[in-house]
Amino acid sequence: NIETIRDGVVLLRGFADARVLLPLIDDIASVSPFRSMTVPGGKSMSVATTSCGARGWYTDARGYRYETIDPVTGRPWPAMPDAFRTLAIDAAARAGFVGFDPDSCLINRYAPGAKMGAHVDKDELDFNQPIVSVSLGLPARFKIADAVIPLSDGDVVVFGGPARKAKHGVSPVAAGALPYRFNLTFRRAGP
Ligand code: MD3
Ligand code: FE
């Protein structure tokens, strides 16, 4: 159950199990809580975020960056659970990226109406490393360049090679039977 959407975009439908992952998200959020971050322009994001792993993506008035200490708690981000890391490594390997070892997992929480505007992920050191995205809960429409990919609970997408610097975003999430959409974004941010 593996599909190449376009060069560098590989979709693994139903590859992740929310029953395993959602309790781990709760554990992480009990240490580093979900928060609405501020972009450098001053607006707050509609998506609530937290992170686990050695580095967490962060934004405030000072800019976009990775932090090893959660600025909210003053403590390191929670460790990346083995089930997270293994899932990301296995998905990347299926897409041809053997040796991917994520040091960062950004957890995005979308309530109905939350969205992510078009942007490029460019705060990482090595753009030869792919990004692994795991969708949980409510469905969403993911936009990359001129394509739209409907993503539902358990879907995993690996973005690499020519897609790594593509513009992408998420349309406003519609209300449904569950309270949220969660997205786990696994990246190699540092050396
Ligand atoms: C394609 N998050 O946090 S993950 C992000 O669903 C982000 O929460 C979205 O974009 C979400 O930066 C999409 C999928 C994703 C992540 C990075 C990419 C797709 C990408 C980088 C290049 C191309
Ligand atoms: Fe992104």
- pLDDT per residue as tens digits for the range 67-121: 999 999 999 999 999 999 999 999 999 999 999 999 999 999 999 999 999 999 9
List strand residue ranges (DSSP E) for 41-128, in order. Answer: 48-52, 56-60, 63-67, 69-70, 75-76, 104-110, 116-119
Residue 164 CB less than 6 A away from ligand 1 = yes
- Note whether 154 and 165 are within 8 A (CB): no
40-62 pLDDT, tens digit each: 999 999 999 999 999 999 999 99
Residue 131 CB less than 6 A away from ligand 1 = yes
* pTM of structure: 0.98
Task: Report the alpha-carbon distance of residue 13 to residue 145 in Å, rounded.
Answer: 21
ipTM rounded to 2 decimals: 0.94
| Domains and their CATH numbers in the chain | 2-187 (2.60.120.590)
Q: Which atom of ligand 1 is nearest to the CA of 163?
A: 23
**Annotated binding-site members for Fe cation:** 119, 121, 168
Q: Which atom of ligand 1 is nearest to the CA of 47?
A: 8
